[in-house]
Amino acid sequence: MVSSDGRIWTFRPRSEVRKGETDTHVVLLAESLGETRIVSCLRVEWESAATDLGGLLARSVPEGGSRGVGPSSPGPSDPQAF
């Protein structure tokens, strides 16, 4: 898939899926020029003849990232940002 910024992304299924979701979900790796992103989707969505790769890429997170974790806020001993 070619994204709007011209980068070429390839998608491939990952072998790991959450326990209990192996029949219904697929975890995909989206890779482009050294960047790897991960997205989970319904198996029927991935196996569809018209898979929305742009939508999957938009929902993906960086490898090793988590949707529920944001950047840490500066603590009292951290220097102030200017």
For 37-56, write each residue's pLDDT tens digit.
Answer: 999 999 999 999 999 999 99
pLDDT band at residue 72, thresholds of 50, 70 and 90? very low
Cα–Cα distance for residue pair 82/68, rounded to 1 Å:
27
Give the pLDDT confidence score for residue 51 in this predicted structure.
Answer: 93
Asked if residue 72 belongs to a domain, the reply is no
Cα–Cα distance for residue pair 55/3, rounded to 1 Å:
11
Give the pLDDT confidence score for residue 8 in this predicted structure.
Answer: 95
Asked if residue 4 belongs to a domain, the reply is no
Asked if residue 50 belongs to a domain, the reply is yes
Which residues lie closer than 8 Å to 10 by C-beta, 6 or more apart? 1, 30, 31, 32
For 15-32, write each residue's pLDDT tens digit.
Answer: 877 888 888 999 999 999
Asked if residue 74 belongs to a domain, the reply is no
Q: Is 56:11 a contact under the CB 8 Å cutoff?
A: yes
Print the domain residue range for 34: 10-62
For residue 80 the two structure tokens come to 């102030």
